Amino acid sequence: MLTINAAMIAGGGIIGYLCQDSAPALWSVFVAITLSVGMAARGGREVMLTGRHGVMAFTVGADMPTFETHLIWYLIGVVALNAASRTIDQLLAGPLPLQRGAPLQSPSRYSGWVRYALAFCGAAVASMLIARMLDQVHTIWVVITTILVMLPDARASYRRILERVFGTFAGVVAAWVITMVVHSAAVICITILLIAPLIPHHHANRYWLHTALIAFMVLLAYDLTLLNSHGITSLLRERLEDILLGSAMALVGTVVAFPREAAT
């Protein structure tokens, strides 16, 4: 899974970067990728997860103004760190048991999967189109939100949309409180280190808390670059707006993908 994820992220990022100067190429490839990822969800959670990571990387690469080759070492370093930490953990504590979430009520027919893939693609394209009218940073957050919360299951999608909005709001509020009170880089770094280990534990059963912790940690990391400035306040508001916009696109896409469930 680590190898596949690294390959999808690297490939998606490179393709997005190469397409950024040609609008026809960018939109054609983005449509093709999101359609493929929507249909690939038939292969299970692992395929769906890695495919969406590729879409995220494409979105980031497409809006990256410049690329310096030394940045590749960040990807290599992250992969090596993950591999080393998991190897050490397994040697010390044995195999890590998988968290089992609720099974998805996936479309039962091929036509249902086609409708879901088209709706997933449409929601992602609409998210990117609207967000690009704002700015590059908005695009990343809006599109990522849409592709993460729109699952091939109507009830699961609606639940995840609500949980992501609520969780993000909680994370933004927590980050705002901390950044208004704490003005020490050391304290913020310690807080991030304390939060990070808690994030994976809640993904399967408490997605809202998982989302809240991610938003909290990421916004604290942003605050390190804006320490003792007023820029973090507007940043917190913008991130919440991005999540709401991305969730709204996913909501429309889910209604289109599962019209019967929406009617009931």
> Which residue ranges make up each domain of the chain?
151-264
Report if pTM > 0.95. no
Which band of pLDDT confidence, cut at 50, 70 and 90, is reported for residue 227? low
87 exposure class (CB count in 10 Å sphere: 0-12, 13-18, 19+): exposed
More confident residue, 8 or 97: 8
Residue 206 CA: distances (Å) to CA of 53, 78, 170, 217: 21, 26, 13, 17
What's the pLDDT at 87? 93
CB 167 within 8 A of CB 215: yes
Alpha-carbon span 250 to 122, nearest angstrom: 9
Mean pLDDT of the region 7-16 = 93
pLDDT of residue 256 exceeding 90: yes
What's the pLDDT at 262? 58
**Mean of per-residue pLDDT scores for the chain:** 87
For 65-105, the pLDDT digits (tens) are 777 888 889 889 999 999 999 999 999 988 887 777 667 77
For 233-245, the pLDDT digits (tens) are 677 788 888 899 9
Which band of pLDDT confidence, cut at 50, 70 and 90, is reported for residue 252? very high
CB 62 within 8 A of CB 20: yes
Mean pLDDT of the region 96-117 = 81
Residue 102 backbone dihedrals phi, psi, to 5 degrees: -65, 135
For 139-178, the pLDDT digits (tens) are 888 999 999 999 999 999 999 999 999 999 999 889 888 8
What's the pLDDT at 39? 92
What's the pLDDT at 102? 66
Mean pLDDT of the region 121-142 = 87
Identity at 229, one-letter amino acid code:
S
